[in-house]
Amino acid sequence: MFFTAFVLETLDLITNDKPIPIWYDTTIFARPSIKGAANLSGALAVPEGINWGDVSIIFISDESVEIRAREPLGVKNFIELGFKDKRSNKPNLQWVLLKAIAQVDGKLSWKNTEELPVSWKPHIKMLRKRLRRLFRIEEDPLFPYKRGEGYRTKFKIMHREEN
């Protein structure tokens, strides 16, 4: 499914400072319903109608996760999921935060974040936005902050147990 939007831009001519309207159309793709469909927004090809309770993220290494959203979506690395720091080509702070959340079974509080390199609170907002975009779910992926308990994910997140 797709939608067409018409966009208005203006172009100022050097000889005449009056703007000239320029109309063009752009196609906006909705959630692909076919597994593996191309996406232009950096989102995963997830089934229609999923919610956070259908999602699980399992860290299988420092750089890769196994993702399920009702069905297996495969193994993805931090670069494929848009968590690359453009300056260093290493995982960005949102990835570090996501990994820290996995280490504490989805329950992040001031008590269990001492090992994070920076103050994590500002990165919660960016992580929420990235997860919403990835899974195409409008709802917040975290329960509201609860004093004394911290944040808790609405999805399953963990590290794979090593044998």
Q: What is the pLDDT of residue 22?
A: 46
- Residue 35 has, within 13 A of its CA and on its CB side, a CA count of 8
Tokens standing for residue 100: 């820290």
- The residue-averaged pLDDT of 125-142 equals 95
Q: Is residue 6 part of a domain?
A: no
- The residue-averaged pLDDT of 51-72 equals 96
- The residue-averaged pLDDT of 34-58 equals 75
Q: Is residue 99 part of a domain?
A: yes
3-state secondary structure of 108: strand
Q: Is residue 33 part of a domain?
A: no
By the 8 A CB rule, do 46 and 73 touch? yes
Question: Which range marks the domain in which residue 138 is found?
Answer: 49-159
Give the span between the Cα atoms of 149 and 11, in whole angstroms: 53
Total domains in the chain come to: 1
In the structure, what pLDDT confidence band is assigned to residue 13 with cuts at 50, 70 and 90? very low
Q: Is residue 8 part of a domain?
A: no
pLDDT tens profile 95-126 = 989 998 999 889 887 665 555 556 767 888 99
By the 8 A CB rule, do 30 and 3 touch? yes
Q: Is residue 21 part of a domain?
A: no
Q: Is residue 29 part of a domain?
A: no
The sign of the CA dihedral 52, 63, 43, 119 is: positive
Residue 92 reports pLDDT greater than 90: yes
